[in-house]
Amino acid sequence: MDYRLGDLAERLKLELSGDPERPIRGISALGSSRPDTITFLADSRQREKMSGTRAAAVILRREDREHCPVDALISVDPYLSYAHLSVVFAAQPAAGAPIHPSAVVDPGASLGNGVRVGANAVIAGGVILEDGVEIGPGTVVLQGTRIGASSRLLANVTVHHDCVIGRRALIHSGAVIGDDGFGFAKDGRDWIKIHQLGRVVIGDDVEIGSNTCVDRGAIEDTVIGDGAKLDNLIMVAHNVRVGARTVMAGCVGIAGSADIGEDCMLGGGVGVAGHLRIPSGTTVMGMSLVAGSLREPGVYASGMSVLERKDFQRNAVRFRQLDDIAKRLAALEKALQERE
C-alpha cells in the first residue's frame, strides 16, 4: 500500500522536512534502503550510513537533519516512531471463514463476537473466547481457559486447562501455557510427582514468543503482569511472578517461585534461581546468573567474556588457586599485624 509522506507525518505526529507528496511504499533498513521507502536513524553514531541512502525519507532527530540528503521526519525518539510506523505497513493475512471447517469447537465453549478459529484448532468445553479473539491453525485451548478480547494465539500454541489470558495478548507459535511445573518429592530411590494445582494468569497487552513455556503454579498461580514482553525460548517455572512491563530476551530461564518486579529488563540467556526477588526497575545483562535476591534496583552483570583458549585455560587454573591464595594472604596479613 502506498502512502504520502505528509500523511505519515500527520499519523505519527512528526514534523515534516521535505515534500509532503513524496510516495512511500514500505520500510527499509538504513544500511540497505530501497527507493520509495522510509527508513530511520536511531543512533547518531551511524550518520555516515545516510550519505548513500536510497530511501525516500528518514526518521531522525533534529540534530541529524543536516546530515541527511533526502526528506525527513523529525522525531524525539526515531526508534519509537519506527515502532509506530511498523503498524502501518504490517501485512495482515487474508481472513478466511470465522470457524474453519476442520476446527473442533466444543458446544460448551463460549465464543464472543468476531472470534476466528483456524484449521485443526481445538477449543474445549468451558473455554471462553471474548470478542475478537483469533486462534491460529493447530492451536489447542483446553477446558476452562478464558482468553480476553482481541488476543491472538498464532499457530500451534497450547493453552492448558483453567488458564487466564488477558486482552490484546499476542502468543507466538509453539508456546505452551499452563503445563505442569517441575515438582517431585524423593521417596527412597523414586521420585513422586507433585500435581500442579495452580493456574497461569496472564495480564493485558502481554506478548509471549515462540516455544516459550510458562508453567502452571503448584498451589498458587504463576502470574505474568500487564504489558510484559517475553522473547522466544524462555522458561518460566511454577509460581513465578513477573511484574508489569518487564521484558526478557531469548533463552532466559526463571526457576520456581522467583518474583521479578515491574519494569525490569533481563538480557538473553539470563538465569534466575528460585525463591528470590528482583526489585522493580532492575536490568540484568545477558548471560548473567542471579543466584540471590537483589536488594536495590540497578544494572547487574556476571560471567566472563570469551577469551582465547590459552588465556582462558591459564585463568581457569588461577581461579582454582584463589582459595589457597586467599588463605595465604590472610596468614600474611595476620603475621604483619602481629609484627606491628
Q: Give the Å distances, CA to CA, from 47 to 24, 31, 73.
A: 22, 11, 15
Task: Decide: pTM greater than 0.85.
Answer: yes
Query: Residue holding cell 517441575?
Result: 182
Count Cβ neighbours within 10 Å for each residue of 189-225 and write b for 16 or more, e otherwise: eeeeeeebebbbbbbbbbbbbbbbbbbbbbeebbbbb
Count Cβ neighbours within 10 Å for each residue of 89-122 and write b for 16 or more, e otherwise: eeeeeeeeeebbeebebeeebebeeebbbbebbb
Which residues are the active-site residues? 238
* 3-89 CATH, one of 1.25.10.10, 3.40.50.1220, 3.40.50.720, 3.40.1390.10: 3.40.1390.10
Best CA proximity match to 137, nearest among 156, 159, 152: 156
Question: Residue 70 gets which letter from DSSP?
Answer: S
pLDDT of residue 31: 84
* 104-300 CATH, one of 3.40.470.10, 3.40.50.620, 3.50.40.10, 2.160.10.10: 2.160.10.10
Best CA proximity match to 93, nearest among 155, 183, 178: 155
pLDDT of residue 195: 97
Long-range interactions of 73-76: CB distance < 8 A, separation 24+: 73/5, 73/8, 73/9, 73/12, 73/14, 73/15, 73/16, 73/17, 73/38, 74/14, 74/15, 74/16, 74/17, 75/12, 75/14
Strand partners, 107: none
H helix or E strand, kind and range, residue 317: helix 309-320
In the chain (340 residues long), the average pLDDT of successive 10-residue segments reads 94 97 95 92 94 94 96 98 95 79 98 97 98 97 98 98 98 98 96 97 98 97 98 98 98 98 98 98 97 97 91 93 95 91
- With 0-12 / 13-18 / 19 or more C-beta atoms within 10 angstroms meaning exposed / middle / buried, residue 260 is buried
pLDDT of residue 305: 86
